[in-house]
Amino acid sequence: MAQHTHRIVFGPVPSRRLGRSLGINHIPPKNCTYSCVYCQLGRSSNMNIDRAVFYSSNDIAQEVEQKIEEVTTKGEQIDYLTFVSDGEPTLDVNLGKTIELLKPFGKQIAAVCDVVILVTKSRTKHIKAGLLEAGYPEEQIMTVSGMREALKQSRAMTETGDVVLIENDLPDTFEEEL
């Protein structure tokens, strides 16, 4: 197995929504499409929109398998395997392949949202490709021309108490015709 400069697999950690979740950090720190001011990891040091291979899918699957063995030997349980990376998860060109390799472990792979609204087709095609490769239902992905339309769609499908994460720290400079 290859040596990495950061931990790829961690946990399990308790989650109110997911029970005990084994985290998979498959993107090196701060490889991201944005540099959000609210990011818990700080500003992005490597902003890009190009999908790439960051780690081998086989290496990730091996590390997950070892961690599952370690945890279950201690009598602990794992409810979910969750991709929670230090950058934009869909930048990993092997995300779909990695998920396929993890399926035999019999754990549910957590999706962290019910609906995805992508703002501008040209700027978000890599995110959509990663979602589809990961098995995210295409009917739950919307592409809109600008932030105003995204907010309108969001308001139409939410109710009081719902949580909406808007991952966009840019003005509507990227508005486009679809």
Residues lower than pLDDT 50 in the chain = 1-2, 107-110, 168-174
What's the confidence (pLDDT) of residue 169? 40
DSSP state of 135: T
What amino acid is encoded at 13 in this protein? V
- pLDDT given for residue 71 in this prediction: 93
Phi, psi of 121 (to 5 degrees): -65, -45
In a domain, 32, yes or no: yes
What is the pLDDT at residue 116? 81
Q: What per-residue confidence (pLDDT) applies to 170?
A: 47
**pLDDT score at 136:** 78
| pLDDT for the residue 171 | 44
In-domain check, residue 2 = no
The model's pTM: 0.61
Domain span at 110: 9-172
- Residue 1, in any domain of the structure: no
Our measurement of the distance from residue 52's CA atom to the centroid of its chain's CA atoms, rounded to an integer in Å, reads 15
Decide if 155 contacts 117 (C-beta within 8 A): no
User: How many domains in the chain?
Assistant: 1
pLDDT of residue 1: 45
pLDDT at res. 110: 45
Q: Which long-range contacts (CB under 8 A, 24 or more apart) does 52-58 make?
A: 52/91, 52/92, 52/93, 53/92, 53/93, 53/94, 54/26, 54/27, 54/28, 54/91, 54/92, 55/2, 55/4, 55/8, 55/26, 55/94, 56/2, 56/94, 57/94, 57/97, 57/98, 57/101, 58/101
In a domain, residue 178? The reply is no
Residue 3 within a domain: no
At 167, is the secondary structure helix, strand, or coil? Answer: coil
